[in-house]
Structure 1
Amino acid sequence: MKRTILSAFALSVICGVNLSYAQSESRVGVTIYKYDDHFMTQMRKDMQNEAKGFAGLKWFMNDAQNSQVKQLAQIETLLQHKMRVLAVNIVNANESKTIVEKAKAYNVPVVFFNRTPSKQALESYEKAYFVSADPKEAGRIQGELIAKVWKSNPDFDLNKDGKLQFVLLKGEPSDVSAERSQAVVESLNQQGVQAEEIYSDTARWRRTLARNKMNEWLVENRAAEIEVVISNNDEMAIGALDALNAHEKRLPIFGIDALPETLALMKKGEIAGTVLNDSSAQAKAVVKLVSNLAQGKPALKDTQWESHSSKTIYLPHIGIDKENLGQFLP
């Protein structure tokens, strides 16, 4: 059986239930690239909580299970069931055009969120929008955090050469990962920190892959040179920590997302810093845009957000280290 909340809708039809309630509600179809991504799990919960304040919207949530084929099928089914708006956390940006064309064929607005669609696809449809956080800003703030901690802890310079030797765990071969990776190194340089990459590789945002990759690096020829671990997200940062613990080794680790687990590890002194990628703020923006579009209003009507273009809304990041950690703990 296909895993989709649309089964609830199908059941109501099969049982002959009067669907007049649905006719007075605006149906919103949501598809998330995979539910077992920790950040998307939190954002999905935030969206569900935020949606409680918007009467007249009925949400149909779907797990694409990291399959673009499955996600495209979900979108087609949602459109056939007369969704007023689509909200899409895309699996593969290469399929942005296909998704936009499907939505356009039904004259249905589409709000992409968190995972970046192609700019060309976004610009090709006047009813397509994107809500996320600027990956360049995330990398810049991460670099500022690392520089701050590095300068205040001279013992982190293990070989005393005045340079920061690092390994870098990247997400996917995507614009977001590339922009975070480039921005963090540029930010370090701007802060006057000479940085040298020892190893870097992709771990596809996943803890297990990051742990495996870090395990490999820790037995490579240049393992002893590693002074700092930089990660494109917290999941991979925690994976690196797992590997370091297995090797009974401690290094400063920096991630992005500010997952609750990461904040708890920071409190214990096991992770040095992270960057808040605010799932709650992004969820609020997605739900508000969806609500406006479902009512036929301009997407940004009655909002405080400024669009970086006519299509994109970026929510701000916040750097977190031991000095301000208390503000973010439960």
Structure 2
Amino acid sequence: MLYNLLYPLSDIFGALNVFRYISFRAIYALLTALVISIVIGPALIRWLKRIKCGQYIQEDVAAHQCKAGTPTMGGLLIALSVIPSVLLWADLANPLIWLTLLVFSGFGAVGFVDDYIKVVRKNNKGLSAKAKFLGQTAVAVIALAILITLPGYSTQLAVPFFKNVAPNLHWFYIPFALIVMVGSSNGVNLTDGLDGLAIVPTIIAFLVFGIFVYVAGHAGIAEYLQVFQVPGAGEVSIFCGAMLGAGLGFLWFNAYPAQVFMGDVGSLSLGGALGFVAVVAKQELLLMVVGGLFVIETLSVVVQVGYFKMTGGKRIFRMAPLHHHFELKGIPESKIIIRFWIVSVLFALVALSTLKLR
């Protein structure tokens, strides 16, 4: 909004020319979201306690019983910080901004309904897996159907480390990108099991993709680094900046021992938006590297369930997702969290290296 209001006046007031720079606006979107989350966080947590939005803890996770009743649905704090910040600092004439907000809000709405059923209606199962998947799919398909019609957007698929391999998926691109978005959403959701465990890898991933969407939106840099150019994609780095700020603000309250959990309203919206930003940047496959921790956590569940069914009740891990396996081995929660953060940083560095290794 500030860009649309103030930048046209830069011919009169030269200082307003600073609003043309995406980097400037991304930094201030980050700071704005951070300030909002820190300021409203305590009040939101008190409100969640007052309406009894407490987290249900499974009986087989004995170490977490002390966390029962901790307010959940803290993803609302992230949404209330991100959306105003993006609307304030982004170019609102850019359709990619609105599509990103659509995905973020739509996936968040699915998570909100799931959380509402769990904590307000006291139904610990929440939405059925089918209903949750249908909701995520509907939001993703709408966004993707619009995205591929935008001028300059390609349905080709970039393959990390290979500059001359770029198959065109045509209309099969929508099902593929749908898998990317829904998979990312559920991957973050599965990882969200320890204090601060999911939010930091998510912050790291948005930082990396903030760089990638900026590169994709800059014709000169995109050509130099031999990546797909996506007109207007650079503006999505404003959203990534806001996500960094909101994520850091949420971590302020979610760090061990957590005062609030993000709930599905947070994890589904973060993962879905992350998947969509990867699609906008034309780095869909790279998401498996950037979000390597989410992939590992998801695979641990898939392998555990598959092996359990095949062997009639045997298990590979003591418990899935993987972070619970290490907990049951006696590793302190704080140590698991920090080590998983380190792994996320390493994955991010490998992903960034692909800008030159091709």
TM-score, with length taken from structure 2:
0.27
Larger radius of gyration: 1
Larger relative contact order, structure 1 or 2 (CA cutoff 8 Å, min sep 6): 2
Structure whose residues are more often strand by fraction: 1
TM-score, with length taken from structure 1:
0.29
